[in-house]
Structure formats: C-alpha cells, structure tokens
Amino acid sequence: MEKSSTQENETHNGGVHSQAKASTDGSICGYESLHQLLRENLKPNLFQEVNRLLLGLNCGRGLETVVLPESAKSLSSQHNFDIQAFNFRADKELLRTPRIVRVGLIQNSIALQTTVPFLDQKRAIFEKLKPIIDAAGASGVNVLCLQEAWMMPFAFCTREKRWCEFAEPVQGESTQFLQDLAQKYNMVIVSPILERDINHGETIWNTAVIIGNHGNIIGKHRKNHIPRVGDFNESTYYMEGNTRHPVFETAYGKIAVNICYGRHHPLNWLAFGLNGAEIVFNPSATVGELSEPMWPIEARNAAIANSYFVGSINRVGTETFPNPFTSGDGKPQHADFGHFYGSSHFSAPDASCTPSLSRNRDGLLISDMDLNLCRQLKDKWGFRMTARYELYADMLAQYLKPDFEPQIISDPLLHKKSS
C-alpha cells in the first residue's frame, strides 16, 4: 500500500523531529540506547533473535540480569542515573571452583558549566559521583572503574593551558576522595585522572591510579597512545606514557587499564593479555561523529582475541567551553567536542556482551563475571598456542629498521610493456 502525500509528510516531519531530538539530547530517536529502541519496537520473538545476533550467547545462553538491592535502585531513582546488572557465567569445572567477581563501570556528565571556577567544578563532580559509587558499594561491587579524566571536563580540544590546573599528584584530592570509599566498601577502584608528576618537573600525564580495597595505592598506568585526530589535541597537554603494560594483581583478580585511544591499537590490547590480565578496562572520552560505529566492535574483538573481559566506559553529554576553537580540518570554529555518547558496556572472551548504558544519562553498569571463563576460552580456541609470535616478532624487528622493504611479490606481467 502506497502512502498518501499527507502520510509521507507526517513520516518525514516525524523523522526530522526525531533527528532533531537526537541531536539535542543525545538519544537515538528518543530512546536512551539501541537496545531500548529494539526492545520497544520489535515483537518479542524478533527481539530475542536480534539480541542473540547483536549480544551473542554466554555459555550457550543469553545473559541473565542480576537483581540489585533496593537501596541501589533507590539511589538510581533519586539521582537519575541508569543502573543495569548482568551475569557472565563459565562452565562448571571439576578441579576449580568458580572465581566470581562483581565489577562496575560508571559513566557521567560534568556537573557544572565549564565557566564556573575550577575548584567548584571538581567538587561538584565529586558530589555527583558519590551516590553512584554508594550504589556500587551497596550492590557489592568488588572492582569499580571510572571514566577517563573523570575529575574534570575533557578540555583537551581547546589547547588552552589553563586547564592544566586540574592536574594533581597521584596522591591528590581525587585519590583521597576515592580511597575513603574504597576502604568503606572493600572495593578496588580504578581512577583515571590528569596527573601532575611533582618529582619530574611537574610533567603532566593521562594516568589511571589503581586504589586497593583497603584504600591503599597499588600503582598507576599512563596512557600509551595519544590521539592527534580531529578535536583531540591531547599532545598539547601530555605525551605517550612510560609505564608500558602493567597488570595489577588485586584481591579480586588481575586487572589492566587500556586508556581511551589505546583501544585502536591491537598490540596494546595484546600486551596486557600477554602479561596475564583477566579484566582490562578502557576508560574513554569519545564522541559520536568520530567513533561510535567502532565503539561496540573494538573492545569486543579484544576480549575475544585475548581471552579476557573488557569494561568499556565513555563519558556522557556535551561540554561547551568559553572560547571557540578549530581543529585544522577546514570546519568552522566551535565551542564543544560534540556529544559524548556514553554507551558503556562489558565484553566477554566468549564473544558475548552486555547491552550498553544510556547514551545521554549518567549510569552504573554492574556485571558478575566468572574469571574461569578466561582459561576455558584459551583452552577452546588455542589462540596463544597458534599465535606464531616469533613470526611477527621477526616482522616487527625488520619493520623497525631504516632499510625495511615491504614483502611484495608483483605479477611479472603487471609492468611488462604491451607489444
């Protein structure tokens, strides 16, 4: 049946309205996530099949949801943040007991406008995160990771050095704030901050601080790969990190942190796996126009290829700065990065993953994960055994030489002159 011109206009206007809404509030045509859009518009049997294809199966079944305590749900309602919880299973083993750990991810927008005094901005973010962390603690989360540079607006697009004032030592105010909560809830907390290295000329780094469940500082990792693309002019503030690929052995498992842009580098993921990581966090700050099609793919692929769990975190909202800036791409000057689309999620080594958190609201994503699944998938696929590392070690060694020549075999007829 063909649509009348009136129906076509209504459909067109509705589509324009939905697109306008999405551009202003960060939703997908009025829905908080792709998962919600599909669930509310597909028949249950169709949604189940689409869900299977998009999210995969964990040990042959769809992911189960986890019932959270009323106190956590109450905090979610009171402070208007998304909260979801799921369970990754592993097969039952005869010689090992399950190694179940409860892991949480927090995504959030900034709390005040970027024109407000810096100290007020930072303290407001602390105040905003406190009830979300309390909800994680009430839910029994063992390991919690926050988003990249959580204690400030992501001002690295501006190239203005005044934002360096947000940088703080590893033992600074943000760490102290989280140390008390880590000890209170017996929780390991991964805290990505803008670090000021007092002992080395006050050099600034993009750093993740690992806080132990007793409130102690276990260690730190500095961002390995720095973007120079679009508005992401981060090398104006800090350069590539010098901590290599550390894995931190905590009370709840071996964890690592692949900060933001590092997710685009497969060898970065590989190195954390070679060092024995069971969970790798990817705290990020990324916008829709630049990276959203890549977002559900890269971390999931890393979890599969390296047989570990991945927690992907992205901030939320549009952050507008006082002075417009350009990015050397010929586009007009603008005062914001674009929309940080949230959509934090977990990926498992068996190719299953959780639905994403909201694209436009603060959120807490919780997952139980049986770490036995990591070794079970190593045994199943044999990626380590079949990886041929020596082959690629030799290739990379050759590539690093100034006289490297690519291994290209040309068709001998390709450049032959026609008679």
260: annotated active-site residue: yes
Please give the Cα distance from 240 to 253 (Å, whole number).
27
Please give the Cα distance from 276 to 298 (Å, whole number).
20
> Which contiguous run of DSSP H or E holds residue 248?
strand 248-250
Q: What values do phi and psi take at 89, rounded to 5?
A: -90, 170
> Which contiguous run of DSSP H or E holds residue 185?
helix 173-185
Q: List, in order, residues 6 or more apart from 73 with CB less than 8 Å away.
A: 83
220: annotated active-site residue: no
416: annotated active-site residue: no
Cβ burial of 356 (10 Å; 0-12, 13-18, 19+) is buried
Cβ burial of 21 (10 Å; 0-12, 13-18, 19+) is middle
Smallest Cα–Cα separation from 51: which of 66, 26, 31, 33?
A: 33
> Which contiguous run of DSSP H or E holds residue 134?
helix 118-138
The catalytically annotated residue of 122, 145, 148, 157 is: 148
Please give the Cα distance from 133 to 144 (Å, whole number).
8
Please give the Cα distance from 260 to 313 (Å, whole number).
9
Please give the Cα distance from 396 to 410 (Å, whole number).
22
Strands 143-145 and 188-197: parallel
Q: List, in order, residues 6 or more apart from 102 with CB less than 8 Å away.
A: 139, 140, 141, 142, 143, 366, 367, 368
Q: Please give the full DSSP string across 339-388, using - where no structure is assigned.
A: EEE---EEE-TTS-BPPP--SSS-EEEEEEEETHHHHHHHHHH-HHHH--
Q: Please give the full DSSP string across 117-130, using - where no structure is assigned.
A: -HHHHHHHHHHHHH
The catalytically annotated residue of 32, 122, 145, 223 is: 223
Residue 281 near residue 145 (C-beta atoms within 8 A) = yes
The catalytically annotated residue of 157, 260, 353, 374 is: 260
Measured distance between the N- and C-terminal CA atoms of the chain, rounded to whole angstroms: 61
> Which residues form the catalytic set?
148, 223, 260
